[in-house]
Structure 1
Amino acid sequence: MTGPMIIGLTGSIGMGKSTVAQMFVDDGVPVFDADAAVHILQGPGGALVGEIEVLFPGTTNEKGVDRQKLGSAVLGDPDALKQLEELIHPAVGAMRMEFLAQNENVPMILFDIPLLFEKSGADGVDQVIVVSATEEDQRNRVLRRPGMTPDKFEKIKSLQMPDEEKRKRADFVINTSQPLDETRVQVRNTIEKLKASLA
């Protein structure tokens, strides 16, 4: 294998994926966060703000894209969502290539990709880690988010592959329905196993 091993990190909304990604960073694994890349592209002075305003008038301001307004414009409208994705995906892809070039000499890198299975991103990774939790924990976490409603949560969930299906397809599963220390142990064990597979 030339270049680093590419690990895909995924999990449905509210499963604790960001927390787990940060644990990989803390343990020295470079992480490319697709959501963070989107925030940069849509933030103040972001590369896509102008084009998004043209496609969806009234969804941006001086702070960049108003995510609530853009969400309302595309959620439940497959055509609008497709237009938005066709704009975002190539731009995120370019940022990912840049990240790969910067980290070509490390043993492994992690791509944090929320819709890894839904968008066939699994083809581009060597190993897949799924972050999972109980349905009750997932629901409680998501409904604590500002602006979230049970209806909105169900809508988002309906666009995601069921957790059970993701776990079946995973090379590793990290369960976050337990204390943080125990999750960290799982992360470290997973890193050790991945390093061993490289040896």
Structure 2
Amino acid sequence: MSKPKIIGLTGGIGSGKSTVASFFKAVDIPVYIADDEAKALMNRSKIIKRKLISFLGHSAYKDGVIDRAYIAKRVFADKALLEKINAIVHPKVASHFKRWVSKQDSPYIIKEAAIIFENNLEAQYDKIITVVSPMEKRIKRVMKRDGTKREKVLSIINNQLSDDEKIDRSDFVIYNNDLKSLEAQVKEIHKQLLTKP
């Protein structure tokens, strides 16, 4: 069994990465959602739990489950704290991902990760797909999905690289304007990934 190509799937908040990921799943491509795995590990790993509580306090967990709202509030005001959390969680996610890839029997896999470029992680991928969507649609999508205020969504968007910068550094770009064209774009990229070395 040869090692599958690792394809990064990225895009700003609310761009529609999860929808794109579901279209790749529909054509039988394994998908790894890094953010979901990070959440699961924060709840499952005793080591991560112990470390997070040591510098965030017991409020970091509510009934044994990570309190993401509390952590988001803390890291928003303190970038160094975010770096500390990432230093604990990211290596664990990376080793979990490595094990997961070794079990996949597919010509390529998709790893969905929001901040590939922000963290300069391009070298970890064979190709990178960026999803872009009109700003207003993104804001509305996130407000509806997370129940957050417009200002909060804008501040997150402003903390991420612009779409133009991401497009410049990507191998493929998916324009998320409507579901039909979204699915067609995924199928076209799928075809190219299967045929090109």
Query: Could you report, residue by residue, the CA deviation over 1:7-47 in whole angstroms, capped at 9, with x for unpaired residues?
Result: 1100000000011011111111111110111121123x444
TM-score (norm 1): 0.92
Matches within 5 A, 1:46-195: 46-47=45-46, 48-57=48-57, 58-103=59-104, 105-178=105-178, 180-195=179-194
SS of 2:114's partner is coil
Query: Could you report, residue by residue, the CA deviation over 1:81-128 in whole angstroms, capped at 9, with x for unpaired residues?
Result: 11111111111111111111112x421111111101011121111111
Asked if 2 retains the 8 angstrom alpha-carbon contact of 1:132 and 1:163, the reply is: yes
Q: Compare the two structures and name the one with the higher helix fraction.
A: 2
TM-score (norm 2): 0.93
**Residue type at the aligned position of 2:39:** H
Across the aligned residues of Structure 1 and Structure 2, the Cα RMSD in angstroms comes to: 1.4
Q: What's the CA shift for 1:175?
A: 1.1
Residue in 1 that maps onto 2:35: 35
* Cα distance between partner residues in 2 of 1:143 and 1:86: 29
Asked if 2 retains the 8 angstrom alpha-carbon contact of 1:49 and 1:64, the reply is: no
**Residue type at the aligned position of 1:119:** N
Q: What's the CA shift for 1:63?
A: 4.1
- Greater shift after overlay, 164-173 or 15-24? 164-173
Give identity over the alignment, percent: 29
Asked if 1 retains the 8 angstrom alpha-carbon contact of 2:3 and 2:102, the reply is: no
* Cα distance between partner residues in 2 of 1:187 and 1:146: 26
* Cα distance between partner residues in 1 of 2:45 and 2:131: 30
**Residue type at the aligned position of 2:97:** R
* Cα distance between partner residues in 1 of 2:20 and 2:49: 30
**Residue type at the aligned position of 1:196:** T
* Cα distance between partner residues in 1 of 2:24 and 2:89: 26
* Cα distance between partner residues in 2 of 1:147 and 1:176: 22
Query: Could you report, residue by residue, the CA deviation over 1:137-183 in whole angstroms, capped at 9, with x for unpaired residues?
Result: 111112213341122112211221001211122111111112x1221
Q: Mark the runs of 5 or more structure 2 residues left unpaired by the alignment.
A: none
Q: Mark the runs of 5 or more structure 1 residues left unpaired by the alignment.
A: none
Asked if 1 retains the 8 angstrom alpha-carbon contact of 2:38 and 2:90, the reply is: no
Q: What's the CA shift for 1:66?
A: 0.6
* Cα distance between partner residues in 2 of 1:88 and 1:159: 20
**Residue type at the aligned position of 2:188:** N
* Cα distance between partner residues in 2 of 1:182 and 1:138: 17
Asked if 2 retains the 8 angstrom alpha-carbon contact of 1:46 and 1:64, the reply is: no
SS of 2:196's partner is helix
Counting matched residue pairs gives: 194
